[in-house]
A and B are shown apart, each in its own frame.
Chain A
């Protein structure tokens, strides 16, 4: 009987067939044995330009081309490898040193094994993606070698061999194969074997190193290899902290944190509903308090203290367990700042650490007292503890070295030492960093990453990536902002710029109407179109017109830049734009979504130039009732581009009766009617503080004069109103055509704010209850409430129509049943998608005759894009806001310096009006509308009546301990008084929404050396005048 078993040892024919066997557990709980057959081949090239064999055997693609070889013929050498070397890292080396491999100073010509790549994917998806990106870039010369598919390098697992041992063996096998292969190839060329580069295996595994030695394979540990490079100290810092610790040996001291549950236990719990999963969110005002929103509870679950948060970091997806009801508490009424509480922690001394330091315990105990004290009427919220991490969302963090933590070892020079890094984001805990260059990092903005948070350490440990430059410098701070908000700011790669029209700036709308560019386009060049934008706007994406029709009705048109004409689906430019998602506006910088050429020229609807557009045309009755609407691709010629002020002047200028001005007047009239209709339908008039900074103002004057709150002109709302109308019309059109995949935009339900009696059941009810919130004494009160209400709303999100039921489509704030974004395709990717959908909905076939809808028609893909756009959109807003905040700080600082020059009186600051936005037990949050900023006012920063008006921060520091407060959580009032002086005249009482006089200045934090600058707000006078 002939054996049916496939056994390579008994059958030489089967040598080129191997199989890969593994167990796959599916989401539904099935467990399958999977067998994949591997057909081993001998034509996978080594991809070294030195090789003379592989070019002849490498398989060509469909066009007969062989993939270009990657590895250099003159690889860089080091002292140890003067002839040059190729690197073969194992998985661990990549896990620990990905930042090194990404470094541009070293690590070229790297052979990445398929085995290693797959192993890395199982261990860490982000690292895997970074490695893939590295392999894709040409200049680092990373070659992905499919060793498992090549006959010579495929390794069969031995009988009792663990997977790790087998993979290590695979790495060594590849290394020895490569050196043999290159030697043979060199011999063929008649060269000496001497000229062959060394193949260096990088591994941290001791056993592997030993085996490599006995097998005559060159192998080095990552740190040994890096030590042999130039600039090794800087590079050594980039090795992951975990690995350094590991080599130091485990079992050091007590374990501070409870262990996480095992993955299977977590999953059992999550499925059974005893555990919950959600995003871990740290309170910006109290670093010991965080919340996790889970579907099972209406209110977010509170997590109090380090014990319960158990090494979770803001943004992680965690599994939590609800604590028993007697441990439920109300949310904190106190400001707790990590930097202040843990100022004196020493990064080196672990022994004295406890998870909950005494100070922290005290802060927490106060809380408990509070919760128990008013348990009768108080409303304790459910609390929970973190029992496991589903997914870490660690990223790279921008921060600076805490100068306190380096103090003791200042003189030790280049020795490795532990320092703390204070991340810019207050929600992120201090990061312990081991570095050899502590002294040179002081006073710099640096980029670090978290590697691990071991159970025996109070703080996470991380490693240094790079320095952004000196603190407070424009370059460093801007880059820090962009990094912190994950904005893609690198220049567009060549693949993207290749997608631009070849004519460059000379591109023009084709003269002849026979040209394919005119196909399906209407000629609207005769219309009196104009654009109205903020001054200095370069990326004009909308223009308008209105003209009377013979039947007494009006034709109104909104023309949007036809970006989808230039950005074809699924090419490199489209992909890049979809990743960037939106253009980001900083005070002095704009990070474009599309390359400059398109955004500010070819797509921009500049005046007196013919441009492609996507037009929405309505026929309206004089009462702004829409008779019909029409969508078409078109060619327009804008007659004028106005700024809001210019347009307003034109309209107001009674003597001006040109057709263009008349049409603007008509538009304005319509816009007022439309607006009123919208409010009648219950639309919200929500406010968000907007501050504009005109950075180009002259330098002699008061720098604060550049800071302007945005003025609302009638023309602003004119444009706004028609854009809304266009968006609504387009939304219903594409929803009709693509009910499953239309890209729409909705604002989620409003979450309730604690102290206001607002009716949130519908936007209409909210609008009227907002209107009722008027305080006759305080004209700004209504705006304040509106600002708060806007903040409470979960910001609007894009979604794919098929994913929601139709009643959920409503746009809350606009009181419109359906909404999308159509009008800004130059700066929002969502609009671009909507353009494509609309083009397809109206049957536009594109220049070459086939539909352009491909790529936007699949729901899954669209949902991915939506998620990314929503994320980018949010980040772009945050980045913009942070940029303004930074600029205001700088302006204050410049002013402070100027004042100082005039008279020696130190940091005088500027007097302004502020409003109390939140009240805590030991401080308040004040909003200064003039600058659009918000700041915390601590006890010491209350200027009590009868006090010397010295505002110096250093003098005031000690005041806090002499003060007591009376906090009324029901009335939201806080009274600050000096100990032993309870007289009313000597105390200050503030309440929520109260107007206060404040002194705003920019101070450098003291006691922290190079510490950062912050905006300091002093409450001068709380009497409401």
Chain B
């Protein structure tokens, strides 16, 4: 350990924990301002998320979405690219899932549809990231701005498609017909013996999400491409001298990132809604940024961060039910504070902590 640094465990576990604690402290003040007891609120929230089977099922379901969008942001982070377009990529990914399901659900069982739906989600999500990627790589247009613009373009495109092209015949609802059994993923509790999640939609996508984590870990830390991505992210000039093509890395990384974001739609569309509908992404793409930041862009960290956010979503719904003064919007406030403290203010506590570790480790180094 060098002077002015922290041990790795402090960097990866203690720092995020402190930041989240700060976010929860401020959230507690908000609850207090509304006139409710923050400790009761935490108790209801945690119980709602983990205290009963159905709660756990919902927590895992939400966590699945966050794993995908979190991984998407994290992969781009490793190349020091900021993909803020997970929202749009997931939305368009839903189109890929729906096309596969609508084409096949009446003819084949779900396990034939599934690989095509997953591939469709990844392909459509990646395609939506492709133009911003090319513009960044070849024309230097900032990927943050272009992906924001593409989120809005995706929203318009999907509304147009759902209203004018894909809507169920004779229906005014902007949504497709409901998929038959061939377009539905099995629920987790039907696969796992002895587990019952009640009416929670936790489904096979959770397993796909964990596989995506494994894929990302292997990709980033065990392949040549991953090494190039990390090199490019750490120092672009050095990467060029090492013979790494910035254009290729930028485009490939953004394609992988967009594909992962798109796969979020598998969970929502094929796993739960069983139809394509408008605004099903509803912020999961943006929360992926918080998940990636908290998880330090590591798949394992992302799984934990995703479960934390899944807990907030599910527990927050319970909280809104038990304490009517606190609406579901409280979840958004907590999310915002987590993004603020774990992301934008991540350097606030760091110098103090480094100093603290310096004092603690000083006698030890003198003895050695």
A, B from the same assembly:
no
By a beta-carbon cutoff of 8 Å, the part of chain B in contact with chain A is: none
